[in-house]
Amino acid sequence: MSGTDSVVFLLDDNGSVRETIRYLLESADVRVETFANAEEFFQRRSSDGPASLMFDVRLPGMSGPDVLRALQRPGRPLPTIVITGHGDVPMFVEAMRAGAIGFLLEPLRAEELLDAIHHALSQAAVARRQRSELADLKRRYASLTPREREVMAGVVCGRLNKQIAGGLGTSQATIKMHRAHVMRKMQVRSVAELARIGERLGL
C-alpha cells in the first residue's frame, strides 16, 4: 500500500541511513518523514492518514524500547518496524512484546524493507477504517434516547418484546415502537446486524 495519504515515519540518528531509506521508499511512491531522534518524532504533528514507524533500536537519548513503550499509550498506535545492525534473540523478543510488527537486520534488503512497509501501512489502513467505523457506531448510539438504549440492550441480548416490556414495566406496543426507532437510528435491518453492533460497542 502506498499513496499520498500514507506516510512512513523514519527515526534514525544516522543521516546517511535516513537518506538511503528515504530514497528507496520514495522511489516506491511511499511518502516519508524523517527524524534524527525520538524527541523530534514525538513532537511531530499527527497524521490523519495511514502511518507506520520505522526506527533504529539504538538511539541517542530515548532508547528504542522506550519508544515502543511510549507508543503503547492510549491514542492511535502505529504499526512499528524495528531496524538494527546488532540484532539478537532477546532484543527481538523484547521488541515484539513491546508491540513491534517487524524486525529487520542491517544491511537492509530493498525487497524485504518494502514488503515490511507495505504490510505495516496495510495494517494502519485497516485500523484507521475500524476506528472510523466504531466512531460512527458510537455517534448513532448516542442519538438514542435512554429508553431506546434499554430496549436495544434487551434486543441484542436475545429477549423477546414481551420480556423486554415486562422488565421495563411497559406495553409490548411501546416496545415495538422503541425497537423500530432503534433499528432506524442504528441504520440496521435485522436483529443480527444490531447484535453485531452491540458487540462492537461492548453492550
Residue 119: CB atoms within 10 A of its CB come to 16
Domain co-membership, 19 together with 97: yes
pLDDT for the residue numbered 159: 93
pLDDT for the residue numbered 160: 93
Domain co-membership, 103 together with 128: yes
Q: Which residues contact 57 (CB under 8 A, 6 or more apart)?
A: 63, 64, 65, 82, 83, 84, 91, 95
pLDDT for the residue numbered 75: 58
Total number of domains constituting the chain: 2
Domain co-membership, 148 together with 117: no
Final residue of a domain: which of 110, 135, 160?
A: 135
Give CA–CA dist 72/162, Å, rounded.
46
pLDDT for the residue numbered 175: 95
pTM for this entry: 0.69
Take residue 14 and report the three cell numbers written for it.
Answer: 544516522
Contact criterion met (CB below 8 Å) for 103 and 95: yes
pLDDT for the residue numbered 46: 67
Domain co-membership, 86 together with 177: no
Residue 110 Cα distances to 64, 75, 156, 184, angstroms: 22, 31, 50, 51
- Encode 58-87: b = buried (16+ Cβ within 10 Å), e = exposed: ebeebebbebbeebeeeeeebbbbbbbeeb
Paired strand residues for 11:
35, 55
pLDDT for the residue numbered 166: 93
CATH number of domain containing 50: 3.40.50.2300
Domain co-membership, 90 together with 164: no
Q: Residue-wise pLDDT tens for the chain (203 aa)?
A: 445 578 899 988 888 888 999 999 999 888 999 988 888 888 876 666 778 888 887 777 777 777 877 776 655 567 888 887 766 667 667 777 666 788 887 888 888 889 989 888 888 888 888 889 999 999 999 999 999 999 999 999 999 999 999 999 999 999 999 999 999 999 999 999 999 999 999 88
Final residue of a domain: which of 115, 135, 155?
A: 135
Domain co-membership, 114 together with 16: yes
Cα 124 from chain centroid (whole Å): 6
Domain that holds residue 40: 3-135
Domain co-membership, 109 together with 188: no
pLDDT for the residue numbered 78: 79
Take residue 152 and report the three cell numbers written for it.
Answer: 436495544
CATH number of domain containing 173: 1.10.10.10
